[in-house]
Amino acid sequence: MNRQELFQTIFPDAPSYRWRQVEQGLFAGKWNNWDEATVLPAAMRAKVGEQIPWTAYRDAQVFESASHDTFKALLKLDDGRAVETVLMANARSGWTVCVSTQVGCAMACIFCATGHMGFRRNLTRDEITDQYRFWQDYLKERRGLGRITNMVLMGMGEPLANMDEVQAALHTWLTSTPLGPTRITVSTVGLLTPLEHILKDPGWPRVRMAVSLHSAVRGTHARLVPTGPENFLPKIQDWARRYVRRHGNRRHHLTFEYVMLKGINDSLEEAEALARFTLPIGRVRINLIPYNAIPREAIESSLPAQIRNFADHLKERGLQVTLRKTMGDDIQAACGQLVTGVLKPLDKSESRAL
């Protein structure tokens, strides 16, 4: 049972504003425990403290990058499993949280450490939303570091394979934190059925969407994302065209993520295929991601000169291109490196109870 269901079970006759008070108090970050929830009557507060866990995690281990701009936390869950979440400094002088939505992942992308773990289980809405609370508390304890300004659902797992819990988590953040929909990005490998649902469901919040494409050439895409369906590329192109027509504007763009892999998807032929794929869609952004090495895979990142040539070709074709800065690779917190169970001991780590 999640926190809200527990609350409603304990207090079936409580007016709905009581739960809103609880949720807003939890995400405002001012309470340190239930005793401080003085917005609730004392008797109610006592029952909440006895019966509703303060957080969805038992304890956490935090790793800090040498450049002090990236932190990774290994959060221990109630069932003994663990999940990773990352905090990164961003260009707004704030912090971006990279959120996990599953323990492991079934999508098996060959360049991704989480994909090699396989799927273990979905995270609950509380386990997803509390990654925000965890980092908010962490920043509060280190006064002067600033606040969370952005969230990206790009950590462990495929968010759209855990649609109900992710949708509930998005609503919680949008109603109980200062973050608006353009500050939250959901990244998907391109699950077509949930993507159709997103187009049709008025209840899906208008957060930004990113599709991890990695190649617009059928054979290359099938190699990189072996779980993709037949005819994936024309299907996702069709979806993207409809999505951009319906929701695209200056503030709400669709992004295609593209991890740059040496000798696999970084040729100018691949760049041209990507240009031909994206140009008919409309206003999109292409985000090139230097590959971060993981154990077990003899794959290398494209050389910087090759990434530049690739980007230049796309720009010459009129596309908007960004290059993701690699952060936290020294603590295995960079894109594609999140995994639980194979962490190397690191010097700059600390443990703390929640």
Task: Report the nearest approach of ligand SF4 to the CB of residue 161 (Å).
Answer: 8
Binding residue (CB under 6 A) for ligand SF4 from 88, 105, 186, 294: 105
Dihedral of alpha carbons 234, 226, 125, 144, sign = negative
C-alpha to C-alpha distance for 159 and 191, rounded to whole angstroms? 10
Q: How far is the CB of 112 from ligand SF4 (least distance, A)?
A: 3
Pairing of strands 70-77, 57-64: antiparallel
Is 335 annotated as catalytic?
A: yes
Torsion angle (degrees, nearest 10) of CA 13, 15, 21, 24: 100
**Residues 131-160: x where in contact with ligand SF4 by CB under 6 A, - otherwise, as a string:** -------------------------xxx--
Where are any strands of DSSP class E within 90-220? 95-98, 102-104, 119-122, 148-153, 184-188, 208-212
Q: Which of 64, 84, 158, 165 is catalytic?
A: 84
- Which tokens is 272 given? 């041209």
CA distance 85 to 135: 9
Q: Which one among 96, 114, 136, 255 touches ligand SF4, defined by CB under 6 A? A: 114
Closest approach of ligand SF4 to the CB of residue 240, in Å: 17
In the bound state with ligand SF4, the residue whose beta carbon lies nearer, of 150 and 162, is 162
User: In the bound complex, what is the minimum distance in angstroms from residue 151's beta carbon to ligand SF4?
Assistant: 16
Distance CA 45, CA 26 (A): 13
Among all residues, whose Cβ is closest to ligand SF4? 115
Compute the least distance from the CB of residue 107 to ligand SF4, in Å: 4
Choosing from 112, 270, 335, 350, which is the catalytic residue? 335
Q: Does 107 bind ligand SF4 (CB under 6 A)?
A: yes
36 is catalytic: no
Nearer to ligand SF4, 189 or 275 (CB): 189
Among 87, 88, 99, 112, binds ligand SF4 (CB under 6 A): 112
Site string for ligand SF4, 157-176 (x = CB under 6 A): xx------------------
Query: Which of these segments, 104-112, 130-138, 177-185, 243-251, binds ligand SF4 (CB under 6 A)?
Result: 104-112
Cα dihedral across residues 338, 344, 346, 352: positive or negative: positive
Residue 9 host element (H or E) = helix 3-10
Looking at 207-250, list the stretches that DSSP marks H as alpha helix, in order from N- to C-terminal side: 218-224, 232-247
Touching ligand SF4, residues 179-218 (CB under 6 A) = 189
Residue 245: how many other CB atoms lie within 10 Å: 10
Binds ligand SF4 by CB under 6 A, chosen from 62, 88, 115, 128? 115
Between the CA atoms of 100, 106, 107 and 109, what dihedral angle is there, to the nearest 10 degrees?
A: 80
346 neighbors 72 (Cβ within 8 angstroms): no
Residues binding ligand SF4 (CB under 6 A)? 105, 107-109, 112, 114-115, 156-158, 189
For the annotated catalytic residues, the residue numbers are 84, 335
